[in-house]
Structure 1
Amino acid sequence: MCVCVQVLPVKDADFSWATNTEQPTLEGINLSIRKGDLVGVFGKVGAGKTSLLSAIIGDMSRREGEVLVYGTIAYPPQNPWILSATVREHILFSYEYEEGFYNKVDEACALGPDLALLPEEDATEVGEKGITLSGGQRVRIALARAVYARADLVLLDDCLAAVDSHVARHIFT
């Protein structure tokens, strides 16, 4: 029998972007996510999907209710940030390099073809002082960083929108 551990309970929570506003941005949020769950949040543009993720990671002010996070969170945002560093440094992000796991993450995030085109593969510096990456490459590097972190909770903010449909299918699978 599997005992599923609750990773994220949110109970009757209201959130705002500014602490001095009267009307909360998100109201009455109730959510329960257990380890191993795959949860999708769907809605129109501007419905609050990104705000919900921002509330969970603490970027919004909680005005009411309770939010508990048990464990670690990885969050590749819609518009991932890129530092002036190598591709590998972006993915490892201070974690120890484990070749076998790193290669699995590379494959899962469909980075192989892109790395093969870079002058020094994953040792290529990207960002301000390095080469510029496409939106899809930036998203997949941020996703690889999240996967490599082995977080208890991974919050994905529309990370498949910037990639081709066949790449999106590969990543989702």
Structure 2
Amino acid sequence: MKKIAIFASGSGSNFQAIMDSIKIGNLDASVELLVCDRQDAYVLERANREQTPIFCFNPKSYESKAEFESEIVLELNKRNVDYIILAGYMRLIGPTLLNEFSNRIINIHPSLLPSFPGKDAIGQAFRAGVKVTGVTIHFVDEGMDTGPIIAQEALNIDESDTEITLAEKVHEIEHRLYPETIQALFQKLSVIN
């Protein structure tokens, strides 16, 4: 069983999807820590309900990204975390975490990368008038949504879609695909090791 830490900045719907998958036995992992950079994020309530330990920090209280990432690394190493799972964490990962968890940081993004990286990918796709968008799960590197792709699932944008209905469809895929992909990756790794 892999020990994971989930990083989130917002509502935590993907955090919840991962927790739910673990509870029903579809994901063989244990969530050792939630890392959050916003005191008002709803994901903190979700983590409390799930009795998941929390490390919540204010980036402005630190002199640099390296300083708060070093503290995060200490928290992760205390708990022997194997993988970092980004679930709506709205910060670029810096060298401190990337070096410590090389090829062990996974992110989900609500578009078919390399299209529409960065913030508001659903809105970007909708406003661009594309006919297809989707969800990408990828390893994290030093760029903005540029790491090697692990899995993708496409979604047709219907004429009747609004930005809100499109977001709902994307989130539905995310909540199924992310836990499935993490489990498949962990199974593949256990065969290799």
Class of the TM-score when normalised by the shorter of the 2 chains = under 0.3
Bigger CA radius of gyration: 1
Q: If each structure's helix is expressed as a fraction of its own residues, which one has the higher value? A: 2
- Tell which has more relative contact order, 1 or 2 (C-alpha 8 A, sep 6+): 1
TM-score (ref. length: structure 2): 0.23
TM-score (norm 1): 0.24
